[in-house]
Chain A
Amino acid sequence: MSNASIGWSREEMAARVALDIPDGSYVNLGIGIPELVARYVPEEREFIYHTENGLLGMGPAPEEGGGEPELINAGKRRVTALPGAAYFHHADSFVMIRGGHLDLCVLGALQVAQNGDLANWSVGSPDAIPAVGGAMDLVAGVKAIYVVTQHVTKKGAPKLVEACTFPLTGCGIVDRIYTDLAVIDVTDEGFRLVELAPGIDEDHVRERTDAPLLSIGEGRAVTS
């Protein structure tokens, strides 16, 4: 792809997300780039990771070939439990999510609309087997929702759009988006640039965004 070498890498996107997470936050990380965020906890900060299958205080993956089959994450991969971790059953786990006890969830996306709608669980094709997992609960209940995603699809289609065409995960729930090109807030006035990746200018981002995009500092104050 022509712009694969410019903008932020997956790791840099994850590290950029981590910079915005306050010390002491309880965080749920989705599958894919969101998982990488756990590698980039800034100095002097402590985050507690929640995995919806029943663990607070999730640690990194064990060494290759290690771990145990009954200590896994929501992606069903083996993980570790850190000192201070707690296990609980599924209803309690989703009380944490649906009851607004988690501070932040970082998710991937198929599409994000300018009003904060998120589509991330299905492309809606009739022969696909639908699978939603906990995504709809997370976006309905967690205090803040960050999306981390490539700015466009592998075929170059914009993922930041006026209105989602794929089936929705939730309505008006995305607060901030981190892409390989920029950090963008979802405001009452639509998308607004917060920060550009090195070497990227506003026009480059606008050409790849299928909705109006306010400049950095433009419009009213952040409302989220």
Chain B
Amino acid sequence: MIDKQISSCAEAVADVFDGATVMIGGFGEAGSPIELIHALIDQGARDLTVVNNNTGSGEVGLAALIKAERVSKMICSYPRTTNSTVFPVLYKSGKTKLELVPQGTLAERIRAGGAGIPAFYTPTSVGTMLSEGKEHRTIDGREYVLERGLTADFAFIKGSVADRHGNIIYNKTARNFAPIMATAGRQTIVQAAKVVDPGELDPETIVTPGIFVQGVVHVAKPAHESEQVAQGVSYP
């Protein structure tokens, strides 16, 4: 029987090794798998390359992972956000490197990685400093830049409902990067607020088919980053 359920977040992140590349779902706080990130802080893996659109806020979730100096490199499109106070300090001190990627290129790199496509041409960033040093090619009279597909050792995402096969649906704009990160992570773990039996999710509405998911953790009442930041919570 296929049962991808894992009993705790600690167990779900246990395999993460030093130097791993980790995709973390979310756009700001929407879709951020905060309990899995906190488990990763407890677990202790270092020198991580983290792929996320942002760099977290306050001192919880992704920002707390960065603050704990576990992240040697961020791959993201927008590291500057209200309440994002942790990353600037570590970036300026050189402890955390930054690979800045246009948001659509970031999404497409993840999609391509998950689809087995090693690289693709896009007009995004042509003529700007973000295309410097990259291969260019003119196709049908327009100039494009070559961008590489992106995969990861682990992907940690948040769903609203999952089943033991790993099928997932999401909540509103919390979906964002999760479905594509699920395809690009070799070990994709979803934390879901509700876990149901196979068949309970309507096959017509499943967003992420279970083939892309290796682990399902039930987190019944996930914390919301903005509430924790407003309360001044600092993890751990």
Whether, in the assembled complex, B87 has its beta carbon less than 8 Å from a beta carbon of chain A, the answer is: yes
A136 in contact with B171 given A53-B27, A72-B28 (CB within 8 Å): no
With both chains docked as a complex, state the minimum distance between the C-beta of A195 and any C-beta of chain B, in angstroms.
30
Tell me the nearest residue of chain B to A81, going by C-beta: B172
Judge whether B119 is part of the interface by a CB distance below 8 angstroms: no
CA distance A5 to B154 in the complex (A): 56
Known A-B contacts A69-B224, A141-B123; the reply to A53 vs B104 at CB < 8 A is no
Asked whether, in the complex, the Cβ of A140 is within 8 Å of the Cβ of B123, the reply is yes
Contact (Cβ within 8 A) A55 B126: no
Which of B126, B173, B227 is close to A53, meaning CB atoms less than 8 Å apart? Answer: B173
Contact of A70 among B105, B172, B180 (CB under 8 A): B172
Contact B173 A132 (CB under 8 A): no
Interface members, chain B 176-217 (any A CB < 8 Å): 176-180, 207
A26 to chain B, nearest CB (A): 16
- In this assembly, does B7 line the interface, its C-beta being within 8 Å of a C-beta of chain A? no
Q: Does B104 lie within 8 Å of A98, measured CB to CB?
A: yes
User: Chain A nearest CB: distance from B17 CB in Å?
Assistant: 27
Q: How far is the CB of A156 from chain B (nearest CB, A)?
A: 26
Contact call A131/B92, Cβ cutoff below 8 A: no
Check if A90 sits within 8 Å of B107, measured CB to CB: yes
* Residue of A54, A90, A133, A171 with most partner-chain B CB within 10 A: A90
- B107 engages A94 (CB within 8 Å): yes
Q: How many A-B residue pairs have CB under 8 A?
A: 144
Complex alpha-carbon distance, A169 and B124, angstroms: 9
Q: With A76-B82, A131-B79, A140-B124 as given contacts, are A53 and B110 in contact (CB-CB < 8 Å)?
A: no
In the complex the two chains form, is B172's CB within 8 Å of A91's CB?
no
Query: Would A132 and B130 count as touching, CB distance under 8 A?
Result: yes
> A136–B107 Cα gap in the complex (Å)?
13
Least Cβ–Cβ distance between B150 and chain A, in angstroms: 12
Q: Does B103 contact A (CB under 8 A)?
A: yes
CA distance A134 to B179 in the complex (A): 19
Select one of B82, B103, B178 contacting A132, CB under 8 A: B103
Shortest CB–CB separation between residue A167 and chain B, in angstroms? 5
Interface presence of A93 (CB below 8 A):
yes
Residue B226 at the chain A interface, CB threshold 8 Å: yes
Residues of B within 8 A of A140 (CB): 122-126
Is B127 at the interface (CB under 8 A from chain A)? yes
Q: Is A76 within 8 A of B103, CB to CB?
A: no
Instruction: Give the shortest distance, in Å, between B161 (CB) and chain A (any CB).
Output: 14
Contact A131-B77, Cβ < 8 Å, known A70-B31, A136-B125, A170-B128: yes
Which residues of chain A come closer than 8 Å to B2, judged between CB atoms?
Answer: none
- A52 at interface (Cβ–Cβ under 8 A)? yes
Which of chain B's residues have a CB closer than 8 A to the CB of A221? none
- Is residue B164 within 8 Å, beta carbon to beta carbon, of the partner chain? no
For A127, the closest partner residue in chain B by CB is B92
A194 at the interface (CB under 8 A from B): no
- B110, B127, B225: the one within 8 Å of A171 (CB): B127
Interface check A71, CB cutoff 8 A: yes
In the complex, A68 has a CB within 8 A of chain B = yes
A68-112 vs B, Cβ < 8 Å mask (1 yes, 0 no): 111110001000010000011111011001100000000000000
> B111 to A91, Cβ gap below 8 A?
yes
Residues in A neighbouring B81, C-beta threshold 8 A: 76
Output the least CB separation between B90 and chain A (Å). Answer: 11
Given contacts A70-B173, A90-B180, A129-B98, contact A134 B103 (CB under 8 A): yes
Check B78–A137 contact: CB distance below 8 A.
no
Cβ contacts under 8 Å, B98 to chain A: 129-130
Candidate in B124, B173, B178 with the most chain A CB atoms within 10 angstroms: B173
Q: Which of A55, A91, A97, A137 contacts B173 (CB 8 A)?
A: A55
Binding site for A on B (CB under 8 A): 27-31, 53, 77-82, 87-88, 91-92, 98, 100-105, 107-108, 110-111, 122-130, 170-180, 207, 224-227
Q: Which 3 A-B pairs have the closest CB atoms?
A: A137-B104, A94-B104, A171-B127
| A/B interface sample: 23 pairs, CB < 8 A | A51-B173, A52-B103, A53-B27, A69-B30, A70-B174, A72-B173, A88-B175, A89-B175, A90-B176, A94-B103, A94-B104, A97-B104, A98-B123, A129-B79, A131-B77, A132-B100, A132-B103, A134-B103, A136-B130, A168-B128, A168-B129, A170-B126, A171-B128
